[in-house]
Structure formats: C-alpha cells, structure tokens
C-alpha cells in the first residue's frame, strides 16, 4: 500500500522525499484543506454528472482538444500519451483551468490556449463558487508541497516559487460508470482510465470514499490504492521526474472499470508555461550527466494533452 503521510508531522518533508523516490505516490492526511469545501465541490460534481446529457452539452468542450468544460464518454484515451493504442477510456469528465485571467503578456498562442475561458454550468448553481475556491486551495497546497520537496532536495524552500507563479493548472472531476451500466458500451481491453503518467509537477487527487479502482505500477506489479477517510492522494508528474534526473518517479497508473459508479476529482498542477524543466543541481552526482534534455513545461504539457483527445 502506498505510504500515508501526516502533513502536520515534524518529519513530513523527509517522508515525502522517501515516498517520491520509492513510489512516486503517497497519501496525505491533515493537509489543511477545509473538508467542508471538499465535500461541497464533490457534491456539485456529482450533481452535474447526474444532469441530462442535453444539460451537460451546454458546457461541452466546443471542439476536440479544448482544455476546459465537459468531455463525454470516450472523449479521451490516456494511453495514447505514451504512444500506445488502446480503446477509449470509459469515463466522462468536467474540467476547469485558471480562475483569474493572466496578469502577464502572452505571445505564444499555445500558452493563450491554456488560459482559455472556463465553461461554467448553470446547474448546480453553487458549482462556480465551490470549484473556484477549491482550485485556489489546491494551488496553495501544491505550493506548500513543492516547498517541502525543494527542502528535501537540498534546495531553498522557495526554489520552485518563481517557476509556478503563473501556473496553468487544471482541475478535473471524473465519472466512471459501473460495469453493470449497460447503457454504456464496454470494449475489450478497455479501462476506466488507461495506463499513463501525469504530465506536470504533481497531482492531488480526491478518490471515491467507497469505490476503489486506482492502481499503481510497482516493481512487483499493479497495486490497488485503497481509499481512506480524509486522505488526499498525491503523485508526481513527468516534470518532477525530469527535474530530479529520475531520482523521483512519475509512476504509471490506471483506473479499473468499477463495479459501481465511481467519482474522483484531480488537481493537475503545472509549472509556468515557459518554465524550463532541467536537471536540478542537487540531483546530479559528480561525473553524472542529465538523463533528459531541457524542455519548456508548456509545450511538453500541450503535446501530451493533445495526443490523448478522441474525435467523437
């Protein structure tokens, strides 16, 4: 089972570093995010997914590859981000991006795309408020985690701050219909979410409290991540693996098609569009070479995201 860390403990940073090196995943307890806010945003997501398709289509992504809004069943195949062929993922989603417009000049049209307007549904009426507040809370938690990660890597605790002050993070709710729902076709070899790694710095995930389904690949095979009350799941993305010269892991994971309906909400934290992802000086030994060429965070994110979109 992945380690669960108490964010209020004195050795939190050390334990996070050990989990990042050994697993690339960990649970986080006493994380400081208001539980009432989490519950309100969760409930609003459930209410949204329960709407008639015609209602959800009012905030559908206006074209394939648009980053925010509702994506219908089979709109994505995450395995394609790794160049693999697989059936479409058996899930629907609703996503938002930055809450505030950019406070800087944008010259790259791809970066402007990442700041695209959010599409807010009329129902539930509270969704814009709860989701906006949750987005800000998740961004704050991400910054706190990155500060502890920097410290554990022998860097100043504010090392990542200038690299994330214009982040284009996304928050996404995912609805996985149960296998018994015969209104949703199932294909051979299909997953709720096919095997993939995440693309950015880190992901903070609230999992369904009752329905398991998330699996993490370890050296001994696939391991189930079991839900625990009031615990958020954190995993590293490709950017952190590249920054640490593969010392820390961006771990392959997937979601099974559940027996009953399953929901989750993920916050995908990204670095600034123009932040350069290159080997950190504390992560390379004398005589060692970086394992990855430097890459700008934004173009890497865009290439991965665009590769997963299905035209339906």
Number of domains in the chain: 1
Tokens of 297: 């965070």
Strand order in the sheet with 193-196: 193-196, 253-255, 214-218, 221-224
- pLDDT for 287 equals 87
For residue 265, being part of any structural domain is answered with yes
pTM reported for the whole predicted model? 0.96
For residue 98, being part of any structural domain is answered with yes
Q: Report how far residue 311's alpha carbon sits from residue 35's, in angstroms, rounded to the nearest whole number.
A: 37
Burial class (CB in 10 A: 0-12, 13-18, 19+), 216: buried
For residue 195, being part of any structural domain is answered with yes
Domain containing 217 — which CATH number?
A: 2.60.120.330
CB atoms within 10 A of CB 18: 15
Q: Report how far residue 192's alpha carbon sits from residue 211's, in angstroms, rounded to the nearest whole number.
A: 13
Specify the residue for token string 């409930």. Answer: 43
Contact indicator for 121, 48 with CB cutoff of 8 Å: yes
Specify the residue for token string 């593969």. Answer: 246
Q: Report how far residue 149's alpha carbon sits from residue 25's, in angstroms, rounded to the nearest whole number.
A: 13
Contact indicator for 206, 174 with CB cutoff of 8 Å: no
- DSSP structure string for 135-180: HHHHHHHHHHHHHHHHHHTTS-TTTTHHHHTTB--EEEEEEE--TT
- Residue 67 is classified by DSSP as S
- pLDDT for 215 equals 97
Tokens of 41: 């945003």
Contact indicator for 281, 288 with CB cutoff of 8 Å: no
For residue 149, being part of any structural domain is answered with yes
Q: Report how far residue 202's alpha carbon sits from residue 290's, in angstroms, rounded to the nearest whole number.
A: 21
Residues 6+ apart with CB under 8 A from 192: 89, 90, 91, 176, 213, 254, 255, 256, 257, 258, 262
| pLDDT tens across the length of the chain (312 residues) | 899 999 999 999 999 999 999 999 999 999 999 999 999 999 999 999 999 999 999 999 999 889 999 999 988 899 999 899 899 999 999 999 999 989 899 888 889 999 999 999 999 999 999 999 999 999 999 999 999 999 999 999 999 999 999 999 999 999 999 999 989 988 899 999 999 999 999 999 999 999 999 999 999 999 999 999 999 999 999 999 999 999 999 999 999 999 999 999 999 999 999 999 999 999 998 889 999 999 999 988 888 777 787 865
Q: Report how far residue 44's alpha carbon sits from residue 202's, in angstroms, rounded to the nearest whole number.
A: 24
Domain residues for 107? 4-307
- pLDDT for 166 equals 96
- pLDDT for 312 equals 56
Phi (first) and psi of residue 224, to 5 degrees: -75, 140
For residue 111, being part of any structural domain is answered with yes
For residue 110, being part of any structural domain is answered with yes
For residue 256, being part of any structural domain is answered with yes
For residue 312, being part of any structural domain is answered with no
């Amino acid at each position: 089972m992945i380690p669960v860390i108490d964010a209020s403990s004195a050795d939190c940073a050390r334990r996070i570093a050990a989990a990042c090196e050994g697993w690339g995943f960990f649970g986080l307890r006493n994380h400081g995010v208001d539980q009432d806010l989490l519950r309100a945003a969760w409930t609003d997501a459930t209410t949204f997914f329960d709407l008639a398709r015609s209602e959800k289509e009012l905030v559908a992504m206006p074209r394939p590859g648009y980053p925010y809004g509702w994506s219908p069943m089979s709109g994505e195949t995450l395995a394609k981000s790794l160049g693999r062929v697989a059936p479409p993922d058996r899930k629907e989603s609703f996503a938002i991006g930055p809450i505030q417009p950019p406070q800087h000049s944008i010259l790259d049209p791809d970066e402007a795309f990442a700041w695209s307007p959010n599409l807010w549904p009329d129902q539930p009426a509270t969704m814009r408020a709860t989701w906006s507040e949750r987005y800000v809370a998740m961004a704050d938690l991400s910054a706190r985690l990155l500060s502890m990660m920097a410290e554990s890597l022998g860097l100043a605790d504010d090392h990542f701050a200038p690299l994330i002050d214009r982040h284009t993070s996304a928050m996404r709710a995912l609805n996985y219909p149960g296998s018994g729902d015969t209104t949703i076709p199932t294909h051979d070899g299909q997953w709720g979410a096919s095997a993939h790694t995440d693309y950015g710095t880190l992901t903070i995930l609230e999992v369904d409290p009752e329905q398991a389904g998330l699996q993490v690949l370890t050296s001994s095979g696939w391991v189930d991540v079991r839900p625990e009350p009031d615990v958020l799941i954190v995993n590293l993305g490709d950017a952190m693996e590249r920054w640490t010269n593969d010392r820390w892991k961006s771990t392959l994971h997937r979601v099974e098609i559940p027996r009953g309906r399953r929901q989750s909400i993920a916050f995908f934290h990204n670095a600034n569009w123009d932040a350069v992802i290159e080997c950190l000086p504390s992560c390379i030994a004398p005589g060692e070479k970086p394992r990855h060429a430097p890459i700008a965070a934004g173009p890497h994110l865009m290439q991965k995201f665009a590769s997963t979109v299905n035209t339906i």
